[in-house]
Structure 1
Amino acid sequence: MVEFSRRKLLGAAGAAAAAATVGTTAACSGGGGAAAGGDYDPPAFQPAPELDAQPYYTSETPGMESVYTEYPKSYFKSVDRDPGSGGKVTSFQLTWGDPATPLEDNPYWQELNERLGVSFEPQFVPQPVFYQKFATMLASGDVPDLVFVDDQNASCLQGIRDGAFADLSETFSGDGILKWPNLAARKEEIWNASLKDGRIYQVPSIVWNLTNLPIMRTDLVDQTSIGRAPKDADELFTMLKEVSALGSGPGGQKVYGFSKYEPIPFYRLFKTGPEWQLNGDGDLVHMIQTENYKTMLERLAAAWSEGVFDPVAMTANPADIVSGSALAWDAVGGVVSITGLSQKEADLPGATFDFFDMPGFDGSGQLVVRNVPYGRSTCVSAAAAEDEDRLTEILNVLDYLSAPFGSEEQMFIANGIEGEHHTVDEHGIPIVDTERLVEMGVQYVGVTSGDNSYRVHPNQAQWTDSFVAVMESMAQHSIVRPLEGLEAASQTFIAKGAQLKQQWDDFERGVITGRESVDDLQSFVDGYMSQGGTQVRDEYAQALEDAGK
């Protein structure tokens, strides 16, 4: 664990050390910049007003965010403009569950329209069919005003390349973006990382650099000879095997070292680095071509045969996982929320949890690859943007929907009407009526802006120091991927990336479970590269050269 004191500012030396472990990889970071795409200035950065709350912890380590344990005492107003003209603004947006309650029966939607001054008319698209429907929408030529875009997906990238969405470079150039203060509340590196051919086609969300971390069952690992802090892969797998050997835990639940296979924790453990990385000679290579990746496959195949994993750990159906797990992979937003680890303990009396600091396989630190520095994005219809007044109104709507945490607008967007959709508890935290949540799925086309801190709910107070220590350790051992901001530079990746990824995932899981052999790794690599990997590599290598990296 990293030692720290409350509100201590830690330096970035750890991050520099982590970067040094992979040679030139970390040096080739950052975005493509605006210069490659024409004569416009990067959008001006105007930070959101500071929160009316004191941070519990701040850090200077790249990749680490501030941590808050209290909500703001007051809220600022982020939008100071007249409502819209009363026209219509349409959207194409993702839903994970049921679509929002219809407008006529939805007080939240009605209030949103009143605040926006427009008739907001979203098209709700279920997640399982989103990309299929996205392609159909593009083919129809009828593109809604605001469109949720996943630019890591080939169909979405193709839509950008085909001109379905507006080029906002001149609109947002320099101080031009200050007309929309919430959209201006993102730093230049976030814009740079999301550029396509040096141009702005999407408004990107700010995101945490680190969004997932391991958690451990302390009631299980405390019974092992290793305990909670294994120093390397040997000690880690010893701990995991001893947990599986316990057989069962509280309530008679069957337990294993790992109940579900998740690749990223093991990529970090074995320091495999980014998917595409620069080797010691400065050549671009894929992770599967590295010795660390081969070592990972060998060790995980051995661990599988020794019973470290639940036999159903490769399932795609979460309902199949009923066993307990010494270690698990979880989302930061969930484990520090109102439920979090406290709810996990309440659900299984006798089980205890904490955050886990993953070691490096060789006794040094792990290697964490930071996320692309932006998340979900929204694009504007190119057809709608042809009318300047219409474009302004559409961006006004997006600006409101993208209000930052700590603002009056975001308080309403996220929590609805006080007394109807939410109440405020003794900590000043809004508690949303879960039965009314379905009303509030109207606005999932906004982009996250402003404050990007981790917010730990008071229910998780006993784990705050542990959370900070593990997240700080991850940040200190993190690097930026060399292709950041250049992901769309490979047309072959756009066309074949999903297929190649599936082949890779199938082979990896096959080796671990014994269906494939690690002895066939080179043969798999040769096939992967011949079926498109070589073209992807060459296109990315050219993009790196063109960007001067």
Structure 2
Amino acid sequence: MRQNQPRKTLSPSRRSFFGLLGAGAGAAALTSCGDSSSGDSSAASGSSEYLPTYKELEIVEPDYPAVNGSTPGFLTIPAELQETYPDPIGDGSEATAMVPLWSAIPDLSGNSYIDALRAKTGYDFAFQMTEGSSYGDKLATVLASPDNVPDWVAMPAWNIRSNFHQAIEGVFQDLSPYLGGDAVLDYPHLANLPTSSWQFSSFGQKLYGLPKPGGVVTNALFTRGDLLDEMGITPEITDGQELIDLAVELTDAKTNRWGANDLGVLAYLIFHVPEKWKLDDSGELINRVETEEFKQALDWLKKLFDSGAVHPDAVAGNVAAAKQRFESGNVLLTVDGLGGWAEAYNRQRPSNPEYRQDAVKWFSGDGGDPWVYVNRPAEMVTFIKRTDDEEKIKNFLRVADLLASPFGTTEYQLIERGVEGEHFTLADSGEEMPTELGQSEVITTFRSLCAPPQTNAIVSMPDYVEAFCTWQADAAKNAVEPPLHGVQIAEPPQLAQLSQPFSDLQADVPRGRQSLADVDAAVEEWRKNGGEELRALYQEALDSGNY
């Protein structure tokens, strides 16, 4: 449904802020990146003095430039890389860091990649790693004992709860005096991060976090392009019903081939369900669970499940094996984060060079304009434990600046690939080829702490770089901002869990265990039990700019 959403897309000149409130401007990531000299540092209606000044830094011109905030792409590695931190920052002392991993937890003893970055930063980083699906529980345990909080704590965006404000002060360092306004210019790589990602890292008009910027549109519907080619099928999907029809056509239970995985994440995107709020015609905030779009998405998912085209294991709720089902060819349609695209190629192409998954051109569920809400402005936010040692704070910020080094620097290459000749080799063509050691040792520990704006520079897979960047650029042309985009609002504890019943509904309605009538009843309970109070809280923030 389009009628309540203005055509407000992201101009290249506003790439850094996404127009935080924007005169009346209008999803969740799966477990798995113009005239910008002004930086939009004053784009928010409220006071933004604590937000860092934006100063763009582009070292290498991309082969696929950003469009409306999309991820730029690079097909070659520069012959000459810039080195911005030739000397170690720290004195060799220990720094503790807590990070999630979406893989088996490795033993880092003797890991030469980790050792190389320890030497580069000048800190003996000791990582506390937890598998991503249980990371939220680990965070709750750690934050319950503030004295034991590590020096650095990385938090995925979806683990930052609306009542996080209550835990943050006194535990984590207020970085506003060190990075607010022009102070950030002492850290040029941090100044290159989009303002919206800093806003997302701020709480109560204080800057507490170091962001890992996200992409403007980060989830896609994928087909097994290689297998569909063999079947002589070229999908052209323009609405939700055509997607269901394709899933049914692809299903052959006798050969254990199914049309689709659970496409729930996609449903809320193509039916334009806001992550939190939208505006009605009168300017009043409407919560996502109250919208007609929310019910439309659930109704469409029910039709998909009823069609018999969803793999039985997906119907049973087995999310963990979704990638395996798709990559093995048992499922031919899936939804995934864009980051999973390259990971799938790395897993499959060594044994199956013809493996190909294609991202479907963006469409709307009702067949209307193919617009989409922009994603969260940061994938992760990292917090530094509060300390009275100002020199330590500044040194940690220099480490963060090193980790945010952009493509075209030796630091970026070290973090992404490791040590040349040890973790990767550089072919005459400019391709970086990981060695066996690199494949086993290079992990995302340091990259979880801080990162530059997203780029796609996997030059060993030029077809993937082109497909990724052109698909996202096309989707980003129609990206729309919801109200209060990227703003963290402190919710009273008694209201923070109001949306919990809807998590069950999102699983139950498509599977026939509950109905749309149950959604209506849950919405009424939501309103009576604090939803109206919650609306007033957000409306006051929207009207006053006080957040």
TM range (shorter): 0.7 to 0.9
Contact 2:24 2:279 in 1 (8 A): no
Aligned partner letter, 2:89: P
After TM superposition, list the pairs within 5 Å mapping 1:153-172 onto structure 2.
153-154=160-161, 157-158=164-165, 160-172=167-179
Counterpart for residue 539 of structure 1: 537
Give the counterpart of 1:106 among 85, 105, 111: 111
- The change in CA–CA distance for 1:80 and 1:535 in structure 2 (over 3 A counts) is farther
Give the secondary structure class of the aligned counterpart of 1:489. Answer: coil
Counterpart for residue 371 of structure 1: 375
Give the secondary structure class of the aligned counterpart of 2:425. Answer: strand
After TM superposition, list the pairs within 5 Å mapping 1:67-106 onto structure 2.
67-79=73-85, 83-103=89-109, 105-106=110-111
Counterpart for residue 186 of structure 1: 193
Quote the offset at 1:434 in angstroms. 4.7
Task: Point out where structure 2 has 5 or more consecutive residues left out of the alignment.
Answer: 1-6, 12-20, 27-39
Greater helix proportion: 1
Counterpart for residue 517 of structure 2: 519
Quote the offset at 1:166 in angstroms. 0.9
Q: Deviations over 1:490-538 (max 9, x none)?
A: 23488426xx24x213212211111112233211222334444444333
Distance in 1, Cα, partners of 2:437 & 2:90: 30
- The change in CA–CA distance for 1:536 and 1:431 in structure 2 (over 3 A counts) is farther
Counterpart for residue 325 of structure 1: 331
Counterpart for residue 28 of structure 1: 25
What root-mean-square deviation, in Å, do the aligned CA atoms of Structure 1 and Structure 2 show?
3.6
Aligned partner letter, 1:27: G
- The change in CA–CA distance for 1:151 and 1:542 in structure 2 (over 3 A counts) is farther
Distance in 2, Cα, partners of 1:33 & 1:157: 25
Give the structure with higher Rg (CA). 1
Task: Point out where structure 1 has 5 or more consecutive residues left out of the alignment.
Answer: 1-12, 18-23
Distance in 2, Cα, partners of 1:121 & 1:306: 50
- The change in CA–CA distance for 1:344 and 1:311 in structure 2 (over 3 A counts) is farther
Give the secondary structure class of the aligned counterpart of 1:377. Answer: strand
Distance in 2, Cα, partners of 1:310 & 1:82: 52
The TM-score with structure 1 as length reference comes to 0.81
Quote the offset at 1:467 in angstroms. 4.4
Q: Deviations over 1:174-222 (max 9, x none)?
A: 3322332222221333323332111111111222112221122346667
Contact 2:214 2:378 in 1 (8 A): yes
Contact 2:45 2:545 in 1 (8 A): no
Distance in 2, Cα, partners of 1:520 & 1:108: 52
Counterpart for residue 136 of structure 1: 141
- The change in CA–CA distance for 1:94 and 1:240 in structure 2 (over 3 A counts) is closer
Give the counterpart of 1:380 among 384, 390, 394: 384
- The change in CA–CA distance for 1:305 and 1:27 in structure 2 (over 3 A counts) is same
Contact 1:209 1:370 in 2 (8 A): yes
Counterpart for residue 230 of structure 1: 237
Quote the offset at 1:482 in angstroms. 1.2
Corresponding position: 1:433 with 2:438: no
Distance in 2, Cα, partners of 1:480 & 1:401: 29
Give the secondary structure class of the aligned counterpart of 2:312. Answer: coil
Contact 2:94 2:123 in 1 (8 A): yes
Distance in 2, Cα, partners of 1:27 & 1:291: 19
- The change in CA–CA distance for 1:287 and 1:49 in structure 2 (over 3 A counts) is closer
4+ runs of 1 displaced by more than 6 Å? 29-35, 222-226
Contact 1:237 1:303 in 2 (8 A): yes
Distance in 1, Cα, partners of 2:389 & 2:111: 31
Quote the offset at 1:164 in angstroms. 0.7
Counterpart for residue 217 of structure 1: 224
Q: Deviations over 1:339-368 (max 9, x none)?
A: 269739928x7x764321142233222331
- The change in CA–CA distance for 1:155 and 1:276 in structure 2 (over 3 A counts) is closer
Distance in 2, Cα, partners of 1:403 & 1:431: 21
After TM superposition, list the pairs within 5 Å mapping 1:417-432 onto structure 2.
417-432=419-434
Quote the offset at 1:309 in angstroms. 1.8
- The change in CA–CA distance for 1:73 and 1:223 in structure 2 (over 3 A counts) is closer
Give the secondary structure class of the aligned counterpart of 1:399. Answer: helix
Counterpart for residue 243 of structure 1: 250
- The change in CA–CA distance for 1:400 and 1:540 in structure 2 (over 3 A counts) is same
Counterpart for residue 33 of structure 2: none
Distance in 2, Cα, partners of 1:364 & 1:344: 40
**Percent identity between the aligned chains?**
24
Give the counterpart of 2:180 among 173, 177, 180: 173
After TM superposition, list the pairs within 5 Å mapping 1:300-315 onto structure 2.
300-314=301-315, 315=317
- The change in CA–CA distance for 1:294 and 1:344 in structure 2 (over 3 A counts) is farther
- The change in CA–CA distance for 1:514 and 1:199 in structure 2 (over 3 A counts) is same
Give the secondary structure class of the aligned counterpart of 1:121. Answer: strand
Aligned partner letter, 1:58: P
Give the counterpart of 2:126 among 113, 121, 141: 121
Q: Deviations over 1:63-113 (max 9, x none)?
A: 32323233333211122666323433222222334545444x233333333
Give the secondary structure class of the aligned counterpart of 1:403. Answer: coil
Distance in 2, Cα, partners of 1:443 & 1:75: 20
Give the secondary structure class of the aligned counterpart of 2:526. Answer: helix
Distance in 1, Cα, partners of 2:384 & 2:287: 34
Aligned partner letter, 1:419: G
Give the secondary structure class of the aligned counterpart of 1:513. Answer: coil
Aligned partner letter, 1:108: Y
Contact 2:459 2:465 in 1 (8 A): no
Quote the offset at 1:480 in angstroms. 1.4
Farther off after superposition, 424-433 or 403-412: 424-433
Aligned partner letter, 1:200: L
Distance in 1, Cα, partners of 2:369 & 2:546: 30
Aligned partner letter, 1:130: Y
Aligned partner letter, 2:512: G
- The change in CA–CA distance for 1:239 and 1:489 in structure 2 (over 3 A counts) is same
Give the counterpart of 2:452 among 449, 454, 458: 449
- The change in CA–CA distance for 1:32 and 1:488 in structure 2 (over 3 A counts) is farther
- The change in CA–CA distance for 1:429 and 1:510 in structure 2 (over 3 A counts) is same
Distance in 1, Cα, partners of 2:241 & 2:131: 44
Distance in 2, Cα, partners of 1:225 & 1:406: 42
Q: Deviations over 1:34-73 (max 9, x none)?
A: 88568x454233433412xx5333254x232323233333
Give the secondary structure class of the aligned counterpart of 1:509. Answer: helix
Distance in 2, Cα, partners of 1:344 & 1:229: 29
Quote the offset at 1:408 in angstroms. 0.7
- The change in CA–CA distance for 1:124 and 1:269 in structure 2 (over 3 A counts) is closer
